[in-house]
A and B are shown apart, each in its own frame.
Chain A
Amino acid sequence: MDDLLNEFLTETNESLGTLDVELVRFERDSSDVTILGNIFRLMHTIKGTCGFLGLPRLEAVAHAGENVLGKFRDGELLVTPDAVTLILKCIDHIRKLLAELEAAGKEPEGSDAGLIGEINAIAQAQPAAPTGTASDDSAPPLFDDTGFPVAAELLAEVAHALDPQQILFVSAPEAPTAPAPEAAIPAPAPEPVSVPAAVKDTPVAEARESALAASSIRVNVDVIENLMTLISELVLTRNQLMQLQRMQKSGEFKVPLQRLSHITSELQDGVTRMRMQPIGNAWAKLPRIVRDLCVESGKKIELVQRGADTELDRQVLEMIKDPLTHMIRNSADHGIESPADRLAAGKSASGVITLEAYHEGGHIFIRISDDGRGLDVARIRRKAIANGLASEADLASMSEQQVLQFVFRAGFSTAEKVTSVSGRGVGMDVVRTNVERIGGTIEMNSTAGRGTVFLIKIPLTLAIVSALIVETAGQRFAVPQINVIELVRAGNRSSARIETIKNASVLRLRDRLLPLVSLRTLLGMGEEDSTRDRFILVSQVGAFTFGVVVDRVFDTEEIVVKPVAPILRGTAFYAGNTILGDGSVIMILDPNGIAGAAGQGQAQLESAVTKSGEGEHRDSGHVSLLLFRAGSKELKAVPLEAVARIEEVSVSSIEHVGGRPVVQYRDHLMPLIALDDGHSWKEDGKQPILVFDKNGRALGIAVDEVVDIARDRVTIELQPGREGLLGSAIVAGKATDLIDIEHHVARNFSASFGMDYPVSGEAA
């Protein structure tokens, strides 16, 4: 019975989906009797099925809906938006009951008298004036009001003339305006039977339900998934055999192996295609959503869909469904203006949202464009500043395009008011995250007053990905290539070096400190060996860029992703496993999970060391401070922004020029200064130095120890009592002296460089 119930749920949910779409179409053109016939039939079938399964609540609700639809069909009731809304409500209610039925395994307790009463009230309403399209039950008209034969009747006629197994009715989305003899195309017969069909000169009107359905069967997803797994195994075994063959001298297996390889590839193609579904399946709900929104907001919006038959992997399809819905909502709610605003702007009262999908080079592109008001760059600017995402200076240097990208940031919404449609809180960042999770990208372009275009690029399938094979502690791992931005070799002889700040490793990469995660320590395989050359995979998850330290990097390989075994599901570091051509099983790393692990220990560091000029991770009022000790036990702090680098020089390399300590630094002499005059220079060992960059000249301040980087909202509690101090403040729970770095630099500058300290802004 459970099985039967499942089948019922699947079938009914499918019907409900079609109902949504058809009803919206019908509302637009309420004279189309074939659509109405279809709608009525679907509701009728739902009701009938419920009756068989003993689901009285569902049956009663469906019956009420069917009743109204029947009256529409028989011309006894005028089709009004209110009535259609009620039918849609009825569909929603059925859906709700189905969900409860699915969860509980039985129909929930309760009464639907309210809704049924409402529907019945509509059904009792004034009968419609007789119209030309109203039909008598027993004798439906052969011609509709466009003067063309009604489809069902004609189909029957055609079917009479033809062998039903030999024809396919091609569904035409628009009602034909002229007889279309080509509309019926003879398809290759599944079985070689009977005479060829004579289709010529037979006028065929639209056939909504194509006989194509006859050639398709419903297969349980599990069966296909299982088949896919087996194919993957076969591919891997094939790869192994091919590898063995290459090592063999004799060629006796060569030809059959090649044939096996060929067939395997075809099989793989075939099964991959089986998993494909038209993207239209993910769009089915959209017309309804747009329609509801129009009714609620008084807007006029036309949703144009192109390429609904573009196919993609059902797994990808599932994951793209919600983001798409959200984006269409956004476009309809925020993008398209009210009819009055549109007319005032010289546009037609009705807005257009175009949804388009197409294949290109192994990827699916989905384009969502509207002809609405476009994004307000000025407002995004204001918002970015208000939310502390960027400073005015940052924004000034950004192009409009760059500013627009802020809408993808967390917690960013430009809607002035919260509507019931888009709600609050869920923004484009969720869409972006979802798209990126399946290895896709999203781009956006907007022109004020002209509209907005989003372009989503997603891979065709998730089952086979291109991955980079790396090694750590003698074990190999695969990293999906889409997650790797760049590879950096870090070693003693290379310019990139791994540095340590407060027990955290960082990599200095093009003037930016990149937090590092050691795969070795992360997976508990020991400590990093700092003497060896290592490789860093630079990866980005959301706005968080980080590096993963590995020992070796091999090659890229197309791998078949297999799910993680349940025993490993608890660790977030693995996205799955795979079998390489040589037969070895290796784990696929999940950068998202690793970022999570890295984020806990490093979020603070990461936010602090990311160079401020890029406008990332800055909250208004929060300052990143470098904490250190110099001369005394008290903590001292300088704004991290001011510090160009942190260096350690060996004391022996400190020289004296004119009685002042200097050190050779990047082919220049860098003067060293101490914060107090009483600073005692170390005799040997290493001297930590904070390097400040003033107008192209480096200046080093000798400190005893770099303690930490803190990120805090700083309030200066005590006014300075001494020169060179801004004051004292509580930083990370400890009293800390804030050093007035400008003072020290200025005091030493003229002495060090033999010139006056330049007034800010002018070059020295």
Chain B
Amino acid sequence: MKTQRSCLIVDDSAVIRRVVAEMFRDMKFTVSEAPTGLHAVAHCREQAPDLIMLDWNMPVMDGITCLREVRALEMAKRPIVIMCTTESQLSKIQEALAAGADEYIMKPFDQGVLLDKLSQFDLA
């Protein structure tokens, strides 16, 4: 049996974390949560997840900074990072991709959109 895939959800809204976590649990992921970028970096330092759902706007440390931090870490495996954003400007998305994001997803999203985005990666 294949080991379970792990996912880290980074968002300052507990409600959003819960909704997204539900989607991933449905897909048989083990889910961890982090309320800020700082927590996410700390988490990755200890244990790199397979996938990070990263919100852009967060207090203390925002998503893009967090992304740069995570990519700067030495890790056993390179987590897939999906930036979650409502920013529709192309410049933002380009900035994220340049900083090492693998994909972006517009909030709000449902499980269908999420599956579409995930299908390109070797996860499911």
Contact = CB atoms under 8 A, between A and B. Distances in A.
A164 B14 contact: no
B78 interface: no
Interface string B80-102: 00000010010110010000000
Contact of B14 (A11, A38, A156, A169): A11
Given A44-B86, A137-B91, A137-B92, A53 B60 contact: no
A208 interface: yes
A717 B32 CA distance: 88
Interface stretch (B1-9, B15-23, B116-124): B15-23
Nearest to B72: A160
Interface string A191-221: 0000000000000000111110110001000
B69 interface: yes
B19 A138 contact: no
Interface string A1-18: 000100110010000000
A483 interface: no
A67 B35 CA distance: 24
B47 interface: no
Nearest to A166: B42
Contacts of B41: 159, 164
A7 B15 contact: yes
A155 interface: yes
Nearest to B60: A209
Contacts of A138: 91-92, 95
A48 interface: yes
B107 A51 contact: yes
Residue in B38, B59, B92 with the greatest tally of chain A CB atoms within 10 Å: B59
Interface string A730-751: 0000000000000000000000
Contacts of B35: 213-214
Contacts of B57: 40-41, 44-45
Contacts, number: 88
A169 B14 CA distance: 22
A7 B42 CA distance: 26
Given A4-B18, A44-B57, A160 B69 contact: yes
Contacts of A7: 14-15, 18
Given A155-B60, A156-B65, A49 B89 contact: no
Contact of B58 (A11, A41, A210, A218): A41
Contact of B108 (A51, A155, A156, A165): A51
B71 interface: no
A559 to B, nearest CB: 38
Contact of B38 (A53, A54, A159, A218): A159
A152 interface: yes
A164 B15 contact: no
Given A138-B95, A159-B61, A4 B19 contact: yes
A38 B12 CA distance: 12
A191 to B, nearest CB: 10
A47 interface: yes
What is the predominant secondary structure among interface residues of chain A facing chain B?
helix
Contacts of A4: 15, 18-19
B60 A48 contact: no
Contacts of A165: 42
A53 B61 contact: no
B14 to A, nearest CB: 6
Interface residues of B, number: 30
A3 B88 CA distance: 31
A127 B35 CA distance: 35
Contacts of A45: 12-13, 16, 57
A8 B13 CA distance: 9
B16 A52 contact: yes
Nearest to A51: B108
Given A53-B19, A138-B95, A211-B60, A164 B13 contact: no
Residue in B19, B92, B108 with the greatest tally of chain A CB atoms within 10 Å: B108
A210 to B, nearest CB: 8
Nearest to A66: B86
Given A164-B41, A164-B42, A49 B13 contact: yes
A441 B117 CA distance: 62
Nearest to B91: A138
A10 to B, nearest CB: 9
Contacts of B18: 4, 7
B16 A48 contact: yes
Given A165-B42, A208-B59, A52 B86 contact: no
Nearest to A12: B15
Contacts of B50: none
A431 B107 CA distance: 46
A8 B18 CA distance: 10
Contacts of B95: 138
Contact of B15 (A44, A49, A207, A211): A49
B74 to A, nearest CB: 14
A138 B97 CA distance: 13
Contacts of A159: 38, 41, 61, 69
A121 B113 CA distance: 33
B99 to A, nearest CB: 11
Contacts of B89: 137
Given A51-B107, A211-B38, A156 B61 contact: yes
B36 A214 contact: yes
A45 B61 CA distance: 15
A138 B15 CA distance: 28
B62 interface: yes
A92 B51 CA distance: 38
A53 B92 contact: no
Nearest to B39: A214
Interface string B44-80: 0000000000010111111001000100000000000
Contact of B86 (A48, A169, A208): A48
Residue in B12, B15, B57, B107 with the greatest tally of chain A CB atoms within 10 Å: B15
Nearest to B84: A48
Residue in B12, B35, B41 with the greatest tally of chain A CB atoms within 10 Å: B12
A81 B56 CA distance: 29
Contacts of A41: 12, 57-59
Nearest to A209: B59
Interface string A422-460: 000000000000000000000000000000000000000
B61 A155 contact: yes
Nearest to A162: B38
A38 B59 contact: yes
A338 B25 CA distance: 61
B57 to A, nearest CB: 5
B19 A164 contact: no
A48 B108 contact: yes
12 contacts: A7-B15, A41-B12, A41-B57, A41-B59, A48-B16, A155-B60, A163-B42, A164-B38, A164-B42, A209-B36, A213-B35, A213-B59
Interface of B: 12-16, 18-20, 35-36, 38-39, 41-42, 55, 57-62, 65, 69, 86, 89, 91-92, 95, 107-108
| CB-based closest 5 A-B pairs | A51-B108, A209-B59, A164-B38, A52-B108, A156-B65
Given A152-B62, A209-B59, 6 more contacts: A45-B12, A48-B107, A137-B91, A138-B92, A211-B60, A218-B14
